[in-house]
Structure 1
Amino acid sequence: MTLRDEGDLEKLKDIGRICARALKLMGESLEPGITTAELDDIGRRYLEAHGAQSAPELCYRFPGATCISVNEEVAHGIPGARVIQAGDLVNIDVSAEKAGLFADTGASFPVPPVRPDIERLVRDGRRALFVGLKTVKPGQSLAAIGNAIGEFARKNRYTLITNLASHGVGYSLHEEPGEIATWPDPSERRVMKDGMVFTIEPFLSTGAHWAESGEEDDWTLYSEPRAPTVQFEHTLVVTRNGPLIVTLPD
């Protein structure tokens, strides 16, 4: 998406803030004993109370308001009866629509107590996202995002999931520019333009390279090979001053 006018920008900021606050509330509600369905309901109630509707439900008939992935699950986990345990690594992905505009955000949360290597992975997953954000400016190649994140992963001895990409967002949940790599992609020739809207969402791992479907349902993706993996995501607008991040809670 490329913004058409100031009105669309204000709508994008509004839905971005709503998604970010829903994510923050869900993260603060995480504790041993809560089910992923109960956690999802917290997010749903917040979205609906602020005039927004779940994008996965609206666009893809996903069986939940948000995606909640635990431990071996990398993405698109279905909320349900699973009970959160101490030591779990939980990813929450919140995307929603309001007034015709969509935003998308996500984060991984360790449920204390967790091992030091998991704490480090979570910290570095957030760092990897901001490494990518720092490359954003008009005229810059979209390849710069993956090149920067890839170098960060290499230096810190991590791997990246290379079949889950960032994407354009705004007038729909997934739109142009499509499939923006968060790993080095020599074939990428597209250029960032002023007003362009997309996500950056690296999946940083201690050893996985791929996300694969399981046998339990048609949605949940698992790391391959199995390894702890985190995801952090923001929706942004390309501006002459760098990225305008719309999925911040305040």
Structure 2
Amino acid sequence: MKSALVTGANKGIGLEVAKQLAQQGFYVYLGSRSLASGEAAAQQLRAAGLTAVEAVQLDVTNPKSIQAARAAVGAKTPVLDVLVNNAGISGGQPQGALQATPEQFRAVFETNVFGVAGVTQAFLDLLQPAPQPRIVNVSTAMASLSLYADLDNSNFAFRVPVYQASKAALNMYTLNLAHELRGTPFKVNAVCPGYTQTDFTDHQGTSTPAEAGARIVKYALLGPDGPTGQYFSEEYFPAPATCPW
């Protein structure tokens, strides 16, 4: 049975990704900062008939927690087929390039960038033996430099500089990770789930968690001829070739 780790999997998009991967026959480790929340999420999936799930305590901002999670997963399986770096925070409001504090930037980057790098590096040795290892980093269309360089476009008037900067950095990390893993079976991509109705958006949005989860899972299931080192935002840019970084 293939296995997957999803960070931030106790609710929202992460839980939906875990659910859909379990439906695809994966044994799914639900990474959660709170083990109790992770256990509750796993029980929810088991109640729906998806028994190949297990909660793992994983605070992506805590190196000791990352290493403990790596040890826990490694004790259960020698191979991890999929890593979905979903855990993320917005940084709260207000945000502004002139008003956001250094503490806001540090907190958001700690989760959205440093946490992704730490988890990826910690679990890489479990991913490497997989026949077709996949890494999906959950990004956002709001991190697009191309779109937001149009300063007068009313379609992109809403700006959250701290969050956007962290996800733009995540996109660059994704590119470089794909570059370093080129010539191997790895596929590494960044995916925007869309404007999704979860706690993260105060349940506002144009996509359901199921739709968002499907967009992410699609790239976790890529075949050997699939793309790598790309950014996909299918809600906004159905044709990948037109999707701007």
TM-score where L is the length of structure 1: 0.26
For normalisation by structure 2, the TM-score amounts to 0.26
Q: Which has the higher strand share?
A: 1
Which structure would you say has the larger RCO, counting Cα contacts within 8 Å and 6 or more residues apart? Answer: 1
Richer in helix (by share):
2
